Structure 1
Amino acid sequence: MAVNVLVAGGQCVAKCNHLKLKPGEIAYHKGDILTIVETTQDRGIYKAYNNKTGDKGLVSCGNMREREAIRIDSCLSLMPWFHGKISGPQAVKKLKPREDGLFLVRESIRHPGDYVLCVSFAGEVIHYRVIYQDNKLTIDKSQFFHNLIDMIEFYSKNTGAIATILHRAKEKEGIRSAELELSKTGWLLDMDKLILGASIGEGEFGEVYKGEYMGQQVAVKNIKCDVTAQSFLSETAVMTKLQHKNLVRLLGVILQNGLYIVTELMDKGNLVNYLRTRGRSQISSGQLMRIALDVCEGMEYLESKKLVHRDLAARNILVSKDTVAKVSDFGLTKGDSKGSEQVKLPVKWTAPEALKKEKFSTRSDVWSYGILLWETFSYGRQPYPKMSLKEVRERVEQGYRMEAPEDCPPALYQLMRGCWQDEPGKRPSFHKLRDKLQKEMDQLDPPSES
């Protein structure tokens, strides 16, 4: 097993049953997922948490394997039964052999915006029109659904308005079921084990709740829209590849009422609000340095994996109960590339070459990190105060750079300026930035608890 996986917060899978216990050990069965809590002085022995039972204790590295990441590609779908714009006769041809409950969903050609559920029953194919009404879907105007995923889930357990329970999906050619992939790799969680608490925020794409999963405090993002849920599948897949103490950890996902993404709970919220609500009176310059170093270490890890975040900003950094800063929001994360999707870029945080030519790289992330440092040492101020986005683009291209925040250590402002070099190649790597920050940290007294 790769050594870098066995770090605090890393997850692994049991290769065998372990039920005859020595003092301090925990029991687990083959396939159980465990989270590493900390290393011990004994080589190959770790303190771990069994995600299934909630027990904490010692485990041996030799009995564990790396938790498999999800392979993300355009073939992976939350709706493998959705065939897009095909006609009724085409659907009939696809639903063979004619077993009761074999089904697919297609876009309605006759009624744009509506869908059709095509179900095989008694040797025939029945076409049920799915009407889009008041932002919800319905077949009979008595049972309403937020999305197609919910509808298929309901009719897989109840007949309701249709002739038979949906037994088997006719998957679109070349498409893989996300549910099957998530289940196979151990990332699919059980809704019955999730206790949802109060809403702790509302994003552009859905509510975020506080919750509890198997005794662990979690944050839960619920995305109800089919199309958005499908796009968030990419973010989830990226998160399954990442294991680091300064990246927000994914526990898994639940496919019900759309998509639930379950992550560790970060009690102190996002970095902008954390800094603004406490300010200089409560947070010392040493603590700001610690936060800067935490983020840098998370980004150095992404750099080592050749992944580009593309949306690094203080709003996307979350702060844990014990004031550890962790990078989150991996929705735009990709390998070094030219941006191909039409994504609205955060102008004040995005490097000039990325804004102009959509050239994203680790070095464009370094530019964004410089802006994040400015946000951090200004205690959460908005970058480029009083400037419009148009002004920011024009002035930065002409060579303008922000002044140092009030009372910012000169060495930190020098780091920011280094991140804002015009030529990407002249900007430091995250590895070099981490070295410099560590030296600055070593010259300070250890920060006190906030």
Structure 2
Amino acid sequence: MIKKFAKYAPNKISAKEVETELIRSREETLKLSQDSNYYHESVDRSIAEKLLKDYYNKYGETLDGLFLIRKCSASLGDYSLSMICKGVCYHYRVNHSIDAYYVLDDGPLIHGLDELIKHYRLDPHGLPCRLSTRFVPNSILPSISRVLGYTNPLHLACSCVAEVNKVKLILKSSNKPDINEKDDFGRTALHIACEYDNINALEELIEANAIVNIRARDGSTPLHTAAEFGSIQCLEYLLKCGRANPMERNMTNNWVPLHEAASRDHYTCVNALLNYGLPDKPRTSDNQTPLDLAIECGHKRTAQILRNFIPIESRIKMNEFLHDASVTREKAKQLLDGYKYDNGRYLVRKTQRDENIFVLSLMFNEEFFNYEICLKDQSNGRYYFIDDGPYFRSLPQLIEHYSKYEDGLPGLLTRPISPNVDIVRSSFNNNNTKFSNQPVTRQTSILSSSSLQNQQLQDILTKQLMQTSISSNSSNNFKMDTLSKTNLFKSRTLLNENKRSATNQLSRKLSKISINEIQLQAIIGEGEFGTVYKGTYNGKQVAVKRLKDSTASNDFMREADIMGTFNNPCILKIFGLVQDKNCLMMVQELMICSILEKLWNSPNEVTENHLKLWSSQIALGMQHMEEQKIVHRDLAARNVLLASMSQIKISDFGLSRSTDAFTNAYTQTTEDVWSYGITLWEMFSYGDQPYGNMNGSEVYMYIQSGQRLQRPASCPKNTYKVMLQCWDWEEDKRPTFRELNQFFQNDNDYQKTLTVLKSFR
């Protein structure tokens, strides 16, 4: 239980006293957690069955429902529930949703693994029997997965403003508790610091990489707590320095921090949130806005602030994105297909059936989405909204909001398709190339990558950058008009066609898998030409890529054939092909997510050591490709996948080719080396967009003038030196991947690579 300390309690405590208190607290926690130490981190399915059967054989049917929880090796963040009933073992995937929310099969979404266990102890809910109060003991669940924890000295210190020195000592100690551990009430140290407006403790916690958007038992984030208690210092620090998401909703009532501040008359917090550029009319699950709550609670001053608030006029203009009703769903898809590799491209179109309804069409991860934008008349004006999102006074304000916050969409909106310009060029772009002369504009973290920028450089700079030495004083030497771009497309298309005739013969070396050996489960991805399923093959979980457009079968077979030539721990493995009548499927390793997704979604979980390890592994994989005389041509952080936090796999070989197929110098491995440098920059900048908002021509002039991307703050100097070598203007001066791999193996900071190499051998 948190005690209400005096706000300015004595601040005299020694490091030795702190150590003693931490050790005693750990011992008490171990005693208290005896009834929940059912977690086995490194146990696989077979060992789990042995443990369960050993206990069951010893005690008999009285142990029906005996269980354990183990880490899921196939998916980061997921867990597996293993149980035994009537002598038979069962295994269930416990899927991680957000924060500490989990779901078992098609059951309810439950906050906390500990609460999920309680749920299935009360009733089987589809399991063969209820979970028993008995389990195979080992250790307590990770704190990040639990909704309730045990109050520790860090929680207590954060509740007292004067004990910042104690907070520092605790965080420096080798015996410190998990910084994200929850207390008896389900609150983290960050929540407690915000409750007491303990700004000094908050700064220390964020500096120590506490998760800023973590949820307490009641579903609130630390920013919710700061708004609830009127802790203005903490609120402003979380927004400006902690990068907290002010549009995170409480899972229980859909409240955002602005609702909390308005309902409690904390008008200084209301002003701070509005001045941060947030919408003033987000809605709760009961459809109430902050103004509705302020009026309901009788908070006149807060209500006046909200009633008189006038949002800043949007910088986005209606004619940049709004298309008339002649643009149907099919036409919108045709337009966006020209930018399918450009995440966040969008347009808004009017509907023929109702003049008060618009549709937002969006391309994300090569998938086409449509969202109705409804119009609502109220006494004080007309408002636009999507689903249960905020009300906006105009379409441009709505678009600008979703350009800053996903807020329910699959990703951020980036660049619109103009009704005047992009319709003309969509027919040119609607081929099977990845060219776009418009770069992704990333205003905040979105699911995109450097692949587009790399491809722009490859398409725009190829012969210029790889073959020609251009004087930095001649600004007219670089003029890439539409005709030259078209010719470049033609040359690449011809090269592709020359290779297609050999793909069916080459694919014979791949294993042929019977369709009966594959069990398809949930869809985990879908594009225009194919669907990716989670499935099983030979008792292991796999990813199954199924082709649904037969016109792309040659490209599909070529990619499979190229993958089949690799045998390297750092390249995604293909198990074989399924060819059954009209069904063509590729069976691959199942991965967790891409590096880029990890950097954007969970940056606090990625340390410098992870980045160093991943850098060396990418170099190892690319060295193998280099030795096989294969160029990737699309190396980027989004195409490097995580098998675990200590193992990456290079993927996406749709553009890869054999160097023997090319006579032009621009398609050699030096192109991949340049992209490797960009990929490292993406990683050490934690997913920032290379070159910002510059278009292809601007990037070329920037590079040609001798400028290069600046060293990210978290990037070691020797690693940045490697990047600069990869970006040498003269291609023959760039290192080979063999040389890059040797650099990492010889550097003391990168010795973890050797462990991977030894395990592979």
Q: TM-score, normalised by structure 2?
A: 0.31
Aligned to 1:263: 588
Q: Does 1:241 align with 2:565?
A: yes
Paired AA for residue 377 in structure 1: F
* TM-aligned CA distance change 1:291 to 1:278, over 3 Å: same
Q: How does 1:8-19 map to 2 (within 5 A)?
A: none
Q: Deviations over 1:17-64 (max 9, x none)?
A: xxxxxxxxxxxxxxxxxxxxxxxxxxxxxxxxxxxxxxxxxxxxxxxx
Q: Does 1:297 align with 2:643?
A: no
Q: Does 1:253 align with 2:577?
A: yes
Tell me, yes or no, if the aligned pair for 1:251 and 1:263 is still in contact at 8 Å.
yes
Q: How does 1:41-440 map to 2 (within 5 A)?
A: 185=509, 187-256=511-580, 257-266=582-591, 268-279=592-603, 281-321=604-644, 323-336=646-659, 359-440=666-747
* TM-aligned CA distance change 1:261 to 1:445, over 3 Å: closer
Q: Deviations over 1:378-414 (max 9, x none)?
A: 1122221222233223322333311111221111111
Tell me, yes or no, if the aligned pair for 1:187 and 1:251 is still in contact at 8 Å.
yes
Of Structure 1 and Structure 2, the greater strand share is in 1
Tell me, yes or no, if the aligned pair for 1:198 and 1:209 is still in contact at 8 Å.
yes
* TM-aligned CA distance change 1:186 to 1:373, over 3 Å: closer
* TM-aligned CA distance change 1:443 to 1:233, over 3 Å: closer
Shift of residue 186 of structure 1? 5.5
Tell me, yes or no, if the aligned pair for 2:613 and 2:752 is still in contact at 8 Å.
no
Partner secondary structure for residue 513 of structure 2: coil
Tell me, yes or no, if the aligned pair for 2:682 and 2:688 is still in contact at 8 Å.
yes
| In structure 1, distance between residues paired with 2:501 and 2:650 | 30
Paired AA for residue 263 in structure 1: Q
| In structure 2, distance between residues paired with 1:444 and 1:251 | 30
The runs of 5 or more residues in structure 2 that have no matched partner are 1-499, 755-761
| In structure 2, distance between residues paired with 1:286 and 1:439 | 16
* TM-aligned CA distance change 1:180 to 1:395, over 3 Å: closer
| In structure 2, distance between residues paired with 1:186 and 1:297 | 23
Paired AA for residue 425 in structure 1: D
Paired AA for residue 537 in structure 2: Y
Paired AA for residue 703 in structure 2: V
Shift of residue 271 of structure 1? 1.4
* TM-aligned CA distance change 1:214 to 1:359, over 3 Å: same
Tell me, yes or no, if the aligned pair for 1:366 and 1:428 is still in contact at 8 Å.
yes
| In structure 2, distance between residues paired with 1:331 and 1:262 | 15
Report percent identity of matched pairs.
36
* TM-aligned CA distance change 1:366 to 1:446, over 3 Å: closer
* TM-aligned CA distance change 1:440 to 1:400, over 3 Å: same
* TM-aligned CA distance change 1:205 to 1:315, over 3 Å: farther
| In structure 2, distance between residues paired with 1:391 and 1:176 | 39
Paired AA for residue 573 in structure 2: R
Aligned to 2:230: none
Shift of residue 443 of structure 1? 6.7
| In structure 2, distance between residues paired with 1:338 and 1:398 | 32
Paired AA for residue 575 in structure 2: L
| In structure 1, distance between residues paired with 2:691 and 2:637 | 14
Tell me, yes or no, if the aligned pair for 1:188 and 1:252 is still in contact at 8 Å.
yes
Shift of residue 176 of structure 1? 8.9
Tell me, yes or no, if the aligned pair for 1:337 and 1:361 is still in contact at 8 Å.
no
* TM-aligned CA distance change 1:393 to 1:223, over 3 Å: farther
| In structure 1, distance between residues paired with 2:574 and 2:641 | 13
Paired AA for residue 305 in structure 1: Q
| In structure 2, distance between residues paired with 1:307 and 1:445 | 26
Q: Deviations over 1:252-293 (max 9, x none)?
A: 111245421110111x211110221121x2211111000011
Paired AA for residue 325 in structure 1: I
Of Structure 1 and Structure 2, the greater helix share is in 2
Paired AA for residue 535 in structure 2: G
| In structure 2, distance between residues paired with 1:177 and 1:188 | 18
Shift of residue 377 of structure 1? 0.7
Shift of residue 335 of structure 1? 2.5
| In structure 1, distance between residues paired with 2:637 and 2:564 | 23
Greater relative contact order structure (CA < 8 Å, 6+ sep): 1
Paired AA for residue 286 in structure 1: N
The runs of 5 or more residues in structure 1 that have no matched partner are 1-174, 341-356
| In structure 1, distance between residues paired with 2:688 and 2:596 | 8
Q: Deviations over 1:78-116 (max 9, x none)?
A: xxxxxxxxxxxxxxxxxxxxxxxxxxxxxxxxxxxxxxx
* TM-aligned CA distance change 1:177 to 1:430, over 3 Å: closer
Pairwise CA RMSD: 2.8
Shift of residue 205 of structure 1? 2.9
Shift of residue 339 of structure 1? 5.8
Q: TM-score, normalised by structure 1?
A: 0.52
| In structure 1, distance between residues paired with 2:544 and 2:595 | 19
Tell me, yes or no, if the aligned pair for 1:270 and 1:318 is still in contact at 8 Å.
yes
* TM-aligned CA distance change 1:273 to 1:358, over 3 Å: farther
* TM-aligned CA distance change 1:260 to 1:306, over 3 Å: same
* TM-aligned CA distance change 1:445 to 1:298, over 3 Å: closer
Tell me, yes or no, if the aligned pair for 2:673 and 2:734 is still in contact at 8 Å.
yes
Tell me, yes or no, if the aligned pair for 1:179 and 1:255 is still in contact at 8 Å.
no
Tell me, yes or no, if the aligned pair for 1:338 and 1:358 is still in contact at 8 Å.
no
Tell me, yes or no, if the aligned pair for 1:207 and 1:223 is still in contact at 8 Å.
yes
Tell me, yes or no, if the aligned pair for 2:576 and 2:588 is still in contact at 8 Å.
yes
| In structure 2, distance between residues paired with 1:440 and 1:420 | 21
Tell me, yes or no, if the aligned pair for 2:547 and 2:583 is still in contact at 8 Å.
yes
Paired AA for residue 625 in structure 2: L
Partner secondary structure for residue 403 of structure 1: coil
